[in-house]
Every structure is written in structure tokens, then in C-alpha cells.
Amino acid sequence: MIRKPATLFSASLALLTFQCFRVLCVAQDFDFFYFVQQWPGAYCDSRQRCFYPKTGKPTADFGIHGLWPNYKNGAYPSNCDRDSVFHESQVGWN
């Protein structure tokens, strides 16, 4: 079974992610980013109930859980400026 739409989506998402890296790396002084993926069957909410895929079968697909800037000393940015506006025009689409 060929999964062209999923492959195209994954490739597009990867390209977009790396374009964002370019802007974020220039805009801030972080040491590195954590790119965290999550398997849907492993997610449990605060009541310890797990949410498995609706098909009843395990899924091989991972989702993006987050992309977080970090410092080498283990700290991470906090209290970010919520008034700072995202400008899509500043993302390199060339």
C-alpha cells in the first residue's frame, strides 16, 4: 500500500519546521532545540486514562508534541513576551 499523501505531508511539515528553525535561531540566543515526537497510543491524560487510536489497532504514526528551545545548562526560556507578534513574512520561504 502506497501512502503518498502521508509522505507528502511529512515532507512538507519537515520543510516548514526547518524554515522555522532558521528564523528562531537568528531571533533568539538558544543553545539547541528539543524536537519531541509522541506516539498516540502512549499518551495518557492527568487521570491516567490512555487514548489509543480509534481503529483499535496500534498506529505507526508519530505526532509532533513540541519544539522547545533550551540552554546547555538544562534551563529553558520562560516568561516569554506574550505581546511579541508572529510575523509570517519573516519566515524564509525562498
- Listed by start position, the domains of the chain span 4-81
Q: What is the pLDDT of residue 73?
A: 92
Type of residue at 44? C
Global pTM value: 0.44
pLDDT digit string, tens, across residues 26-77: 456 788 888 888 776 666 555 566 666 666 666 667 788 888 888 999 888 8
Helix, strand, coil percent content, the chain, rounded in steps of 5: 30, 20, 50
Residue 6: its pLDDT value, please?
A: 61
Name the amino acid, one letter, at 89. S
